[in-house]
Structure 1
Amino acid sequence: MTTAPLRHPNGAPVRVLVVDDERTLTDLLTMALRYEGWQVRSAPDGNTAVREARDWRPDAVILDVMLPDIDGLNVLRRLREDDRDIPVLFLTARDSVEDRIAGITAGGDDYVTKPFSLEEVVARLRGLIRRTSLAIQPPEAQLTVGDLILDEDSHEVTRDGKVVKLTATEFELLRYLMRNPRRVLSKAQILDRVWNYDFGGQANVVELYISYLRKKIDRGNTPMIHTVRGAGYVLKPAAA
C-alpha cells in the first residue's frame, strides 16, 4: 500500500534541512527525502545550518550530533530560538543512554543511531511531521475551482465538463495554481514549486507555460488565469 505524500494544504511540499558533514550520507538522505516528494537542503556544519534554517524556514531538520564547528545540541538550541516547534531528528554514531537523554533533554524529538536504514529515517521523520505540524496533511485527490476540476490520481482535467489535455509540466503548474486559488503567486514562487529551482533569469519559462495554460483553459471561456502586473499570477473562479 502506497503512503500518501505529506504536503501543506496549499500544495507546497514539505521542506527538510539535512545537517551532516558526511557528504555521502547527506546525498543519500537527500535522495531518499526527494523521493518522498519533499524539498531538501543540506548544511555541512552548524553555523551554515542555522543560517539556512532562518532563510529557508524548513518544516523539519535532520541533525547530526557531531559537527565540525558547533555540536548538534547547540545548533538545536539556536534553531529553537527562531522556531520552538520545528521537529528535529538527531543522528549520532554514539548509542549510549546518556547521549540519548542529552539529545531529548535539549529538545530533540527523536534519535537515530548510525548506521541506520534510510527507510527508518524517512518513517520516523514522517511521524514527527504528522505529530508536530498539524498544518501538513495528505492532499485531496480532486481540486475544484469554479467549473475547473483537476483529479490528482487520474491526472484528468476538465472545464465545464470538457476534458482538457495537458502536458506533465502544464499539469503541475495548474495544480499549483489550483491549490492556491485567489492567491497571487510570483514567478519566483512558481519556479520554486513547479520547476524546483531558484528564481534567476528564468521568468520567461513561467510566462511561456502560463500562456500555454491560458490557451487550453481559458480559450472560449471566461478567463480564470489573471496577470497581476508586477506581482505574478492568480487563478480564480470565472464568476469572481
Structure 2
Amino acid sequence: MHLLLIEDDPALHTTLQRSLVRAQMQVDVCSDGSVALQRWTDLQPDVVVLDLSLPGVDGLDVLKLARRNGLRTPVLILTARGTVGDKVLGLNAGADDYLPKPFDLDELEARVRALHRRNADNPPPQSSDLQVGELRLDRTSGAIYHRHQVMDLTPKELALMGALMSRPGHAVSKERLFEVVFPGQADVQYEAIEVVVYRLRKKLTATRVSLVTLRGLGYLLKAE
C-alpha cells in the first residue's frame, strides 16, 4: 500500500512514518499545504492521511481542491480539531474517515487498511468522459459541461478544448491544435488558433480552469 501523509508536525510525521513503514506500507510525507495538492497528484497514493492545520493552505481547502480536481483517493483526516462541527466539515469536504488527536497507532493503521480494502472492493466506475477541474467533456454527445451545465461553445472551440482535455497537464503544440481545429484548411494561418484561444479564455473565466500559454510548447488547461 502506498500512503501519502500530509502532516506539518516533524515529530509526529516521523513517528507515523516509521510505524507505518514497519507495517509494510510505502509512506511519502508532505508538510506544506501549498504543495500538498501537487504531491497528491504526482504520487497518486492508495490512501491519504491528512492533517487539517497546515501551513500555506488549510487541510480542508487541500481536500476540497483535490475532490474538485477529480482525485478520488480515500482520505483519513487526522486533526486536533475534535468537535462534531469540524468532523462534519471534513466529511462534507470529501473525507472518508476522521481520527482526532491524540490517537492510538494501531487504530490509525487499522483505519488506513480499512479504507484501502474498501476502495479496492469498490473501484470507481469506468468512464470515457474527460475531466479537467470543473469541466467535463461528454465523449458520447461531444458537449462540455461546467457544473452540470452545457457550455455554449462553437465547433472550433469544442475541437480545441477536446484536444487540450485529452492531454491534462500537458502542453499541446499550436501545430497540433491547428490540425484539429482547421483540418485540411491550408489557406488559414496558424495565428487563427490564437483567435480561438482568446475567445475560449473569456468563456472559461468563471470555470476555475485556465487556458495557459507555454512559449515554445503550446497551450494547456490548468485547474485552479
Interval containing the TM-score (normalised by the shorter chain): 0.5 to 0.7
Task: State the shift of 1:84 in Å.
Answer: 3.8
Q: Does 1:20 align with 2:11?
A: no
Higher relative contact order (Cα pairs below 8 Å, separated by 6+ residues): 1
Residues 47, 122 of structure 1: CA spacing in aligned structure 2 closer, same or farther, 3 A cutoff? same
Q: Does 1:99 align with 2:91?
A: no
Q: Does 1:80 align with 2:103?
A: no
Please tell me the residue identity of whatever aligns with 2:20.
Answer: L
More deviation, 47-56/95-104: 47-56
User: Aligned equivalents of 1:36 and 1:83: distance in 2?
Assistant: 29
Name the SS for the 1:133 alignment partner. Answer: helix
User: Which of 23, 28, 31 does residue 36 from structure 1 map onto?
Assistant: 23
Q: Does 1:46 align with 2:33?
A: yes
1:211 counterpart residue number: none
Task: State the shift of 1:85 in Å.
Answer: 2.3
With the length of structure 1 as denominator, give the TM-score of the two structures: 0.49
Q: Does 1:58 align with 2:45?
A: yes
User: Aligned equivalents of 1:126 and 1:83: distance in 2?
Assistant: 22
Q: Is the 8 A contact 2:50 2:59 kept in 1?
A: yes
1:165 counterpart residue number: none
2:164 counterpart residue number: none
User: Aligned equivalents of 2:9 and 2:60: distance in 1?
Assistant: 18
User: Aligned equivalents of 1:135 and 1:65: distance in 2?
Assistant: 26
Deviations 1:53-109 (A, max 9, x none): 111111110000111111111111222234442100001112111001101111100
Please tell me the residue identity of whatever aligns with 2:55.
Answer: P
1:108 counterpart residue number: 95
Moved over 2 A (4+): 81-85, 133-136
Please tell me the residue identity of whatever aligns with 2:4.
Answer: L
Q: Is the 8 A contact 2:41 2:71 kept in 1?
A: no
With the length of structure 2 as denominator, give the TM-score of the two structures: 0.52
Please tell me the residue identity of whatever aligns with 2:66.
Answer: L
More deviation, 47-56/78-87: 78-87
Deviations 1:163-219 (A, max 9, x none): xxxxxxxxxxxxxxxxxxxxxxxxxxxxxxxxxxxxxxxxxxxxxxxxxxxxxxxxx
Task: State the shift of 1:135 in Å.
Answer: 8.1
Please tell me the residue identity of whatever aligns with 1:91.
Answer: L
Q: Unpaired segments of 5 or more residues in structure 1?
A: 1-13, 137-240
User: Which of 110, 113, 121 does residue 134 from structure 1 map onto?
Assistant: 121
Please tell me the residue identity of whatever aligns with 2:120.
Answer: S
User: Aligned equivalents of 1:96 and 1:84: distance in 2?
Assistant: 26
2:106 counterpart residue number: 119
Task: State the shift of 1:133 in Å.
Answer: 2.6
Provide the aligned length of Structure 1 versus Structure 2.
Answer: 123
Name the SS for the 2:121 alignment partner. Answer: coil
Residues 83, 126 of structure 1: CA spacing in aligned structure 2 closer, same or farther, 3 A cutoff? farther
Q: Is the 8 A contact 1:54 1:82 kept in 2?
A: no
Q: Unpaired segments of 5 or more residues in structure 2?
A: 124-224
Q: Does 1:70 align with 2:57?
A: yes
User: Aligned equivalents of 2:69 and 2:118: distance in 1?
Assistant: 20
User: Aligned equivalents of 2:35 and 2:81: distance in 1?
Assistant: 23
